[in-house]
Chain A
Amino acid sequence: MTQALSRRAVLRGTGALILAFSLSGRAFAQTETGASATPLRGLPGSLDATPRLDAWIRIAPDGTATIFTGKAELGQGIRTALLQVAAEELKLPLSRLDLITADTGRTPNEGYTAASHSVQDSGTAIRNAAAQVREILIGEAARRAGVARADLIARDGVIAGPAGLRLSYGELVSDTLLHVDAAPTSILTDPRDFTVMDRPVPRVDIPAKVTGGAAYVQDMRLPGMVHGRIVRPPSYGARLVALDAGPVEAMPGVLKVVRDGAFLGVIAEQEWTAIQAMRRLATLARWEETAQLPDEARLPEALMALPTRDTTILDVGQPDAPSFTLDTLFTRPYLSHGSIGPSCAIAHLEGDAMMVWTHTQGVYPLRDALAGLLAMPPEKVRCIHAEGAGCYGQNGADDAGADAAMLARALPGRPVRVQWMREQEHAWEPFGPGMVARVRAALGPDGAITAWQHDVWSQSHMMRPGPPGTLLAARDKAEPFPPAPPVDLPMPEGGGDRNAVPLYVLPNARAVNHFLPEMPLRGSSMRSLGGYLNVFAIESTMDELARRAGQDPVEFRMRHLQDERAKAVITTAAERFGWKDRPKPPAGGGYGFAFARYKNLEAYCAIALEVAIDADTGRLIVTRVMAAVDTGQVVNPDGVRNQIEGGIVQATSWTLFEGVRFDRRRITSVDWAAYPILRFSRVPRAVEVHIVPRPGLPFLGAGEAAQGPMGAALGNAIRDASGQRLATLPLDASRIRHAMMDPPPLR
């Protein structure tokens, strides 16, 4: 079993704490964040790849500091959290800090902002860098003033010492002072002395967002900017057989129709003109389509019939039982990221240099992909992150970046803004893959699990740029790039098999990842990757086993756990919910409990909830949710709560409503009418998040911790209310109604 990352901490007399994080378990070939395979230098977080301190922190003569991060704000509040970390260790007030996020021209390369790694990678780097910068400043002050370091203290941007000695950071800093590599260890502030971290600091990005400030790439207006739109093929693999662009080129206000093979775009002075031109152009294009999609109604069968590459990711004891108590096939459909704002980018070709403002999760990998696509040297392409709507994984952001670059290349000198239409986002984004998980488990006479087998089938969850072939535009071009090879993210983080290894102590267990190199629908990373279905499968099975063994589901879990932090969140959620003394629910009511540690490496999350189901309609309302999380050292508790609450609500929507629809040729769920998501009438009525404090322990990402447990807790609550185990997602009204019907289905 994977244990918590080990921690070596040495307390020094001054109340400061030296920490170094052991990063064992991260030495693997490819990660979801694209971080380097093996720690090179043994430095904390992303310092390992970018050790220069002034790559992270620069201090101006006026005493203000600029922090650089390769991670991007995706609505998760990372901007504020990283500022808090920097302010705490630098001993500078927040107001004197500025933060520059992902920009290939300015910031370190931190790969993708993904996998709940931002605070862990960048936060750790910035925290250590800031602490080391502070110590360097203290050292410099000591040198200049000729006093002992121990007599000096950093506070409010000033190094203060005996006899009124005061040297401001601005005075102390010089061009070369911070141009040094980080040391492996830092003197970190003791959590007991925190004044900025572990505090609910209001997010710095919210005021602009609620008052109409320019907050998103969608809001940027560059001088001379024009508007582009793309005409995408009607379906995967459609061939453009005829196009008469003349009428569109003749439209007033249209600057250009861009065509490169089947890549079609329009550029116009005004946005509305561009949209009208796009619609016209679409009607003038003739396509030849092929029926190459699987039968939606039999998706699980279709997936399981594909060729696989199998990896055994867990094999202990004797998992082959003569018979299993349970043998269940859990399935999920393809899911849309469903960003509320369709993807957008602005590109500008000036001379031989291309600038792209994009809400990609990885400016460096996108830069490389665009350089390939445009046949430009990478150093001539600059990608700058600008916020978009929440993406929850790889939505159309990178593709929109490529689209904008393609159009900008056709109109040098003018910035071209491209935003996708709703239908394009819904039809063309890389979905969260449809999946199947089969779990078999056997109970012994003592009511403990004696054998366990988990098989999971999934295509790649990691088709991000790098390779140009990951981008739609690259595939439609007259000289197309080959599709990028499918990436099977390896354990311990995993892709489709993420969280397929239970955290429970099981003496006889096997887990096999059946990786599908084929991709029936375009797919890539979506929050929690395979973890959502695998946790749903494991926690549904645990719940069902507990019932079969006549045990309380919470106690049953505790009995199969050794990890103390796991036990603590479970106990906390259960106690705060009042699990033990929960009253018998009214008719149609039910309770559900579930737990997971995300990736078995990140945050722990346990959820207890109560639902009310209208048996005659199958309408389910979550009446109360109690979540407990352990995210290690907390930077911004309100930020953690916000993320967990969001995960709970989003997973409620995934679980109750969602699935990508398609016929044999086309994606048909192209808008919110065809792809319904949760609206306010179904919002959980009360959500409480309790954070288990872990001062001084490593940061653990929280953004994806709740989704798996929330889905499973819902399934378990439906089981509680109806007596039926639902294993096919979504658990929609019709499935719930049939489960609630006693007598069972009428037809």
Chain B
Amino acid sequence: MKRVLLLSLVAAGCGALAALAYAWHGEMAPVSPPPAAAFERAQIERGASLALIGDCRTCHTAPGGPTFAGGLAMPTPFGTIYSTNITPDPETGIGRWPLAAFVRAMREGVDREGRHLYPAFPYDHFSLTTDADLAALYAFLMTRAPVVATAPANQLPFPINIRLVLAGWKLLFFHPEPFANNPARDAAWNRGRYLVEGLAHCGACHTPRNLMGAEIRSRAFAGGEAEGWTAYPLGAQSPVRVPWTKAALAQYLREGWQADHGVALGPMGPVTENLAEAPAQDIEAMADYLASLGTPASKTAMPKAPAPDASGQRPQSTGWQAAAIALPADTGAGRRVFAAACAVCHQAGRPLPLGGVDLALSTALAAETPQNLLNLILRGVPAADGLAAPVMPPFAAMDDTALTALLDYLRRDIAARPAWPDLAPAITAARRAASPQTNVNPAKGAP
């Protein structure tokens, strides 16, 4: 409520100011959809790779719907915004957009008709993209199958539902500059930075936002939030137990898992699914740049996880589950729950990505808030759509007492960190988000 009020005030002021000159953008004349033959094959292929790095299809696809046809509901602190149809359908998609309109949308956040776009569409990152790359992306999108689909209307309160307000927002927070190479660094690093800061828009999730929903540039990669999941801080502020290396980052981005860190889940899952198909060289470059963000200065010593029942790789034919260990009578509730519900898989030694991660390594336990850990416990990891991928059952049946005890145990004994304060509201919020009515997983999705 406070947020909206503040926003309204600022918006009102800005709106008036901005309306003068800044706000107005003209409509660009529609064109007839260019034929596929109008584009070079190499350019389309390049566009395809860029679209994967840009994660375009994740936001522009409704659960189970046709790729790029839009309609995905994106909850924001201000209301729900629906992604649009970016297939070349002339009426409901971008079929009538000239290249210049596409470039303007990506660089300035303005659609063909001249309307301001909400920054849920991360043009604050996309603006870095070069002309050639934008043309390639355009070529790729314009050669997709046209799909007739109109996104539902956004559900936003006044005055945010007035797009002109966005002119004020842009005036305050959006100052695009073309990408400039850092001559002190090599080409790979520069390429990585170009992608990470630009199309890949990593900061859109991993950088905190202010009350007006704009990224706080001074705190780049200090950690943010996406769809009810924590996007961990990267670089020096990362809470990880084992520092990320370039090789580890590259593997994680490309394969969606890394032995010292775990499996990409939540909104990061689809990101790595896309990157898996992107050119390996670009992923290497991104890893190069991300690795250069630094590593945390001091690390708490890795605590020793309780030894599994026995050493060595256990024969798979008896299952990748460990027998429960007899616990001493005075064992606390959290450890008991852990031993009965978690350890059977998480201490069974089955390698990632299909096995349960060694929780001592899990970033979710070391993070500032228990949000992701709670999401995982309550929702599990549903089976992927026909692909070999990890499955974790949800433990939503765990009541608050058991959950609190478990989280305390995990945090203090496994991760060797001070207990998370104030678990109750976090649990309530996570339960609400995980309930079947609100739980929509865009990646796996329904039909």
| Interface residues, chain A, with chain B CB atoms under 8 Å away | 231-234, 238, 276-285, 287, 421-424, 427-428, 586-588, 614-617, 619, 621, 656-657, 661, 666-676, 678-679, 681-682, 685, 732-733, 741, 743, 746-747
CB neighbours of B383 from chain A (8 A): 672-673, 676, 679
Flag if A669 contacts B323 (CB, 8 Å): no
Closest 7 CB pairs of A and B: A587-B145, A283-B310, A234-B315, A279-B323, A232-B317, A282-B318, A616-B67
Complex contact A423–B316 (CB within 8 A): yes
**Inside 8 A of B147's CB, which chain A residues have their CB?**
587
| Cβ contact within 8 Å between B318 and A673 | no
What is the minimal beta-carbon distance from A585 to any residue of chain B, in angstroms? 11
The answer to whether A676 touches B386 (Cβ under 8 A) is yes
Kindly provide the distance from the CB of A7 to the nearest chain B CB, expressed in whole angstroms: 45
Contact with B318, one of A232, A238, A679, A743 (Cβ below 8 angstroms) = A232
Cβ–Cβ < 8 Å partners of B390 in chain A:
673
Instruction: Evaluate contact between B384 and A666: CB separation under 8 angstroms.
Output: no
Q: A661-B388, A669-B388, A746-B277 are in contact. Are A674 and B317 (CB under 8 A)?
A: no
A616 to B57, alpha carbons, bound, how many Å? 9
What are 21 A-B contacts defined by CB distance under 8 Å? A232-B315, A234-B315, A234-B316, A234-B317, A277-B323, A279-B323, A282-B315, A282-B318, A423-B318, A423-B319, A587-B146, A621-B447, A670-B316, A670-B320, A673-B383, A673-B391, A678-B386, A681-B385, A743-B41, A743-B45, A746-B48
Whether the pair A283, B391 counts as a contact (CB closer than 8 A) is no
Task: Chain B residues near A656: list those with CB within 8 A.
Answer: 386
A residues less than 8 Å from B222 (CB atoms): none
Q: A676-B383, A682-B386 are in contact. Are A283 and B145 (CB under 8 A)?
A: no
Q: Are B315 and A287 in contact (CB under 8 A)?
A: yes
Q: Does B387 contact A (CB under 8 A)?
A: yes
Q: How far is the CB of B51 from chain A (nearest CB, A)?
A: 8
**Contacts A616-B67, A673-B389: A233 and B323 contacting too (C-beta < 8 A)?**
no
B354 / chain A contacts, CB cutoff of 8 Å? 671, 673-674
Residues in B with CB closer than 8 Å to A732 are 386-387
Residues of A within 8 A of B309 (CB): 279-280, 283
Query: In this complex, what residue of A is CB-closest to B56?
Result: A616
A673 to B388, CA, bound (A): 5
For residue B126, CB closer than 8 A to chain A, the reply is no
* B322 (CB) vs chain A CBs: closest residue: A279
Whether B388 and A421, one on each chain, are in contact in the complex, defined by CB atoms closer than 8 angstroms, is no
C-alpha spacing A657/B384, complex, angstroms: 11
Cβ–Cβ contact A428 & B277, under 8 A: no
A672 to B354, CA, bound (A): 10
Residue-wise, chain B 137-172 has the 8 Å CB interface mask toward A (1 for contact) of 000000011110000000000000000000000000
B319 partner residues in chain A, CB cutoff 8 A: 279, 421-424, 670
Chain A residues whose CB sits within 8 angstroms of the CB of B445 once the complex forms: 681
A674–B388 contact, CB under 8 A? yes
Q: Does residue B68 face the partner (Cβ distance < 8 Å to A)? A: yes
A424: chain B residues within 8 A (beta carbon): 317-319
A282–B318 alpha-carbon span in the complex (Å): 7
Candidate in B316, B317, B391 with the most chain A CB atoms within 10 angstroms: B317
Q: Which of chain A's residues has its CB closest to B273's CB?
A: A617
B41 CB contacts on chain A under 8 angstroms: 743
User: What does DSSP make chain B's interface, helix, strand, loop or mixed?
Assistant: loop
Task: A741 to B314: give the CA distance in the assembly, Å.
Answer: 42
B→A interface (CB under 8 Å): 41, 44-45, 48-49, 57, 64, 66-68, 144-147, 277, 279-280, 309-310, 312, 314-324, 354, 383-391, 444-447
CB < 8 Å neighbour of B279 from A278, A427, A747: A747
Cross-chain contact A681 with B320 (CB below 8 angstroms): no
B277 touches A280 (CB 8 A): no
B93 CB, min distance to chain A CBs, angstroms = 12
Q: Please determine whether B44 and A743 come into contact, CB atoms closer than 8 angstroms.
A: yes
Q: A295–B188 Cα gap in the complex (Å)?
A: 35
A666 (CB) vs chain B CBs: closest residue: B316
Least CB distance from B68 to A in Å reads 7
User: When chains A and B are docked, how far (Å) is the Cα of A308 from the Cα of B354?
Assistant: 37
A636 and B168 CA atoms in complex are apart in Å by 72
- Which residue of chain B has the shortest Cβ distance to A281 in the bound complex? B318
Q: Which of A281, A614, A669 has the most CB of B within 10 A?
A: A614
Report the bound CA distance from A615 to B48 in whole Å: 12
Q: How far is the CA of A675 from the CA of B386 in the complex (A)?
A: 9
A231 touches B391 (CB 8 A): no
Tell me if B145 and A588 are in contact (CB < 8 A): yes
Which residue of chain B lies nearest to A586 when distances are taken between CB atoms in the complex?
Answer: B145
- List 8 other contacts, CB 8 Å, given A234-B316, A673-B390, A747-B280: A279-B322, A421-B317, A423-B317, A424-B317, A427-B317, A671-B354, A676-B384, A747-B279
Contact of B388 with A676 in the complex, beta carbons under 8 Å: yes
A233 / chain B contacts, CB cutoff of 8 Å: 315, 317
Chain A nearest CB from B212 CB (Å) reads 34
Q: Across the two chains, which residue of chain A brings its CB closest to B140?
A: A616
B446 touches A681 (CB 8 A): yes
**A587→B148 CA distance, assembly (Å):** 11
Cβ B315 vs Cβ A733 within 8 A: no
Chain B residues positioned under 8 Å from A279 (CB to CB): 309, 318-319, 321-323
Among B68, B145, B310, B318, point to the contact of A231 (Cβ < 8 A): B318
A211 to B315 alpha-carbon distance, docked (Å): 37
Q: Which chain B positions have C-beta within 8 A of A427?
A: 316-317
Q: Are A280 and B146 touching (Cβ within 8 A)?
A: no
Question: Which residues of A have CB within 8 Å of B57?
Answer: 616-617
* Cβ–Cβ < 8 Å partners of A238 in chain B: 315
Known: A615-B145, A681-B445. A428 touches B386 (CB 8 A): no
Bound together, the chains give a CA A444 to CA B286 distance in angstroms of 56
In the bound assembly, the distance between CA atoms of A741 and B318 in angstroms comes to 42
Complex Cα distance, B276 from A613, in Å, reads 20
By a CB distance below 8 angstroms, the chain B residues around A278 are 318
- Give bound CA distance, A747 to B49, whole Å: 10
B315 touches which one: A231, A681, A747 (CB < 8 A)?
A231
Q: How far, in Å, is A418 (CB) from chain B's closest CB?
A: 13
Chain B, residue nearest A283 (CB) = B310
Q: Name which residue of chain A comes closest to B390, CB basis.
A: A673
| Contact residues in A for B384 (Cβ distance below 8 Å) | 676
- A615–B314 touching, CB < 8 Å: no
State the Cβ distance, A228 to closest chain B Cβ, in Å.
13
A285 to B, closest residue via Cβ: B315
Please measure, in the bound complex, the distance between the C-alpha atom of A422 and the C-alpha atom of B41, giving whole angstroms: 48
Query: Within 8 Å CB of A685, what residues of B?
Result: 447
